[in-house]
Chains A and B, each alone.
Chain A
Amino acid sequence: MNLQIVMEYTPEILAGVVVTMKLVVVTMVLGLLLAVPLALCRNAKSKWLSIPAYAYIYFFRGTPLLVQLFIIYYGFSQFESIRQSFLWTFLSESYWCSILAFTLNTAAYTAEILRGAIKSVPQGQIEAALSVGMSPIKLYTRIISPQAALIALPGYCNESVLMMKGTSLASTVALLEITGITRNLIAETFMPLELFFLAGVIYMIISTIMIGGFKLLEASLSRFRVEI
């Protein structure tokens, strides 16, 4: 192991950290925005809502992320009509394709976590809220979501770290994030041992920071909780 190589190439790989972080943050925000309605649909009594949501979650949880990414990045280019439309400005770019694939994927996993969390709110509390005349929206914002958020948090933390690790797949569609830059540098220098080690350490630091952030969030969310 040549440590000088590690030091020399660290700045170049750090440029990839910015891209990876952008992917992670945008995907987390969009994924959560999509996951909430999905979870609500999945829990809905109407079959017209719950079955499509179930099918969506089933597909995205049952197939590899790599296949989903390739369907979006390579698959859509098969259709002339898509290549002519305005969509092509996004779908021809590996950055937007990666974001789309990661968002759709993480939304499915997150929706399943949220669904479980919503279900775990005691039925009695919901009945009590309805009986004092709360509207369904108030019921969700005041009773269900504060409790469900806390229950969902550990699962969501796990899923976010897995998603962060998944962003390394963007290198297969030629996006220059940490893995992509590392692989390019290895093609130039043929130092796989040192450079993959460096990339691995960077990913570990990112995941540790993410887990720490979620721990802080959990502590601040549970500050009003009274242990009975």
Chain B
Amino acid sequence: MFDLYGFGGAMALGTWGTIKIMVSALGIGLATGMFGAWAKLSGIRPFVWFTELWTLVIRGVPELILILFVYFGGSIVLGNIASFFGYDIYIEINPLFAAVATLGVVFGAYATDIFRVSILAVPKGEIEAAQAIGMKKTTVLRRILIPQIWRYALPGLGNLFMILQKDTALVSVIGLNELMRNTSQAVAFTKKPFVFYIAASLIYLAITTITTCILQVLEKRANRGVGRAL
């Protein structure tokens, strides 16, 4: 049963591909989200406008359109840049890059507000107190700010990561070897769509279940030392 008509290996490879996309997009998403939060809080007008526009676009435009736009549109933009410098070549964007960059930037747009709110949630008095007892800026960041921002941001980031995991399935439209595409190839070969798509859904379910457990552990760790009113 588990050899899936000989496609068990392809499914496992696809799962590994999906996990790689998830983790890389998460990395880019966290980085861009932190940058966005910093840009919004900095109060520098062009930065604020840029992040506002970025979140507005991501909230309103389907991820599928964004992925296709980056993948197909990106190579045309690159081609135009190349021809501007006198090279008439067709540059193909690496689908992995297009997928990871798009999913990461989508994650980052939503993460911007989560980080921003979490940073604002740290009481000012604590930072002043830390400075008053002579902590260096880096120590304040490491000991006071980051642990608390992390604690406030974790539930929201966890939800976003769940959304990101499910969005990786969209990447199959640009022909990247991940779970969804490998599943469709197996279907084309075996003509057993129900078996394979159910198998794929169970794999996704397993991934989200494992992530939920990890998030629970992380949240518990982040909240250690915080009193509860019960």
Interface residues of A (CB under 8 A from B): 58-59, 62-68, 70-71, 74-79, 161, 165-169, 171-172, 179, 182-183, 186, 192-193, 196-197, 199-200, 203-204, 206-208
B209 in contact (CB, < 8 A): yes
Assess whether A71 is in contact with B65, with CB atoms less than 8 Å apart: no
- Shortest B155–chain A CB gap in Å is 14
B139 in contact (CB, < 8 A): no
Shortest Cβ-Cβ A-B pairs, 10 listed? A204-B60, A64-B169, A192-B72, A168-B62, A75-B194, A74-B193, A165-B62, A196-B69, A64-B166, A207-B60
Assess whether B65 is in contact with A78, with CB atoms less than 8 Å apart: no
Convert B162-173 into 0s and 1s, putting 1 for each residue whose CB lies closer than 8 angstroms to a CB of A.
000111111011
Convert B194-215 into 0s and 1s, putting 1 for each residue whose CB lies closer than 8 angstroms to a CB of A.
1101101100110011000000
**Given the complex, which residues of A lie within 8 Å of B76, measured CB to CB?**
192-193
Selected from A64, A77, A179, the residue in CB contact (under 8 A) with B180 is A64
Selected from B64, B184, B192, the residue in CB contact (under 8 A) with A171 is B64
Assess whether A66 is in contact with B194, with CB atoms less than 8 Å apart: no
Task: Report the separation of the CA atoms of residues A89 and B77 in the bound assembly, to the nearest whole angstrom.
Answer: 44
Interface residues of B (CB under 8 A from A): 56-57, 59-66, 68-69, 72-73, 76-77, 165-170, 172-173, 180, 184, 187, 191-195, 197-198, 200-201, 204-205, 208-209
Assess whether A76 is in contact with B180, with CB atoms less than 8 Å apart: no
Closest to A82 in B: B194
**Given the complex, which residues of A lie within 8 Å of B166, measured CB to CB?**
63-65
**Given the complex, which residues of B lie within 8 Å of A77, measured CB to CB?**
193
Knowing A67-B169, A76-B194, A193-B77, the reply to whether A203 touches B68 (Cβ < 8 A) is no
Assess whether B208 is in contact with A71, with CB atoms less than 8 Å apart: no
Which among A58, A67, A71, A79 has the highest number of chain B CB atoms within 10 Å?
A67
- Shortest A13–chain B CB gap in Å is 12
Task: Report the separation of the CA atoms of residues A20 and B195 in the bound assembly, to the nearest whole angstrom.
Answer: 30
Selected from B73, B193, B198, B200, the residue in CB contact (under 8 A) with A196 is B73
Task: Report the separation of the CA atoms of residues A75 and B191 in the bound assembly, to the nearest whole angstrom.
Answer: 10
**Given the complex, which residues of B lie within 8 Å of A74, measured CB to CB?**
187, 193-194, 197
Knowing A62-B208, A70-B193, A192-B69, the reply to whether A203 touches B167 (Cβ < 8 A) is no
Knowing A63-B205, A66-B180, A67-B200, the reply to whether A165 touches B69 (Cβ < 8 A) is no
Q: Is the interface of A mostly helix, strand, loop or mixed?
A: helix
Assess whether B167 is in contact with A64, with CB atoms less than 8 Å apart: yes
Selected from A59, A183, A193, A204, the residue in CB contact (under 8 A) with B56 is A204
Task: Report the separation of the CA atoms of residues A77 and B194 in the bound assembly, to the nearest whole angstrom.
Answer: 8
Task: Report the separation of the CA atoms of residues A182 and B62 in the bound assembly, to the nearest whole angstrom.
Answer: 13
Closest to B69 in A: A196
**Given the complex, which residues of A lie within 8 Å of B169, measured CB to CB?**
64-67
Task: Report the separation of the CA atoms of residues A58 and B202 in the bound assembly, to the nearest whole angstrom.
Answer: 11
Task: Report the separation of the CA atoms of residues A169 and B170 in the bound assembly, to the nearest whole angstrom.
Answer: 8
Assess whether B63 is in contact with A165, with CB atoms less than 8 Å apart: yes
Assess whether B170 is in contact with A66, with CB atoms less than 8 Å apart: yes
Task: Report the separation of the CA atoms of residues A76 and B61 in the bound assembly, to the nearest whole angstrom.
Answer: 30
Knowing A66-B170, A78-B191, the reply to whether A204 touches B197 (Cβ < 8 A) is no
Q: List 5 A-B contacts (CB under 8 A).
A: A66-B180, A71-B201, A186-B72, A200-B60, A200-B66
Which among A59, A70, A208 has the highest number of chain B CB atoms within 10 Å?
A70
**Given the complex, which residues of B lie within 8 Å of A203, measured CB to CB?**
60-62, 65
- Shortest A212–chain B CB gap in Å is 12
Assess whether B201 is in contact with A199, with CB atoms less than 8 Å apart: no
**Given the complex, which residues of B lie within 8 Å of A179, measured CB to CB?**
62, 64-65
Selected from A168, A169, A196, the residue in CB contact (under 8 A) with B72 is A196
Knowing A79-B194, A168-B62, the reply to whether A197 touches B69 (Cβ < 8 A) is yes
Assess whether A199 is in contact with B209, with CB atoms less than 8 Å apart: no
Task: Report the separation of the CA atoms of residues A7 and B180 in the bound assembly, to the nearest whole angstrom.
Answer: 36
Additional A-B contact list (5), CB under 8 Å, known A67-B201, A207-B59: A62-B208, A65-B169, A167-B62, A200-B66, A203-B60
- Shortest A220–chain B CB gap in Å is 24
Task: Report the separation of the CA atoms of residues A65 and B61 in the bound assembly, to the nearest whole angstrom.
Answer: 17
Task: Report the separation of the CA atoms of residues A172 and B169 in the bound assembly, to the nearest whole angstrom.
Answer: 12
**Given the complex, which residues of B lie within 8 Å of A193, measured CB to CB?**
69, 72-73, 76-77
Knowing A165-B63, A179-B64, the reply to whether A62 touches B198 (Cβ < 8 A) is no
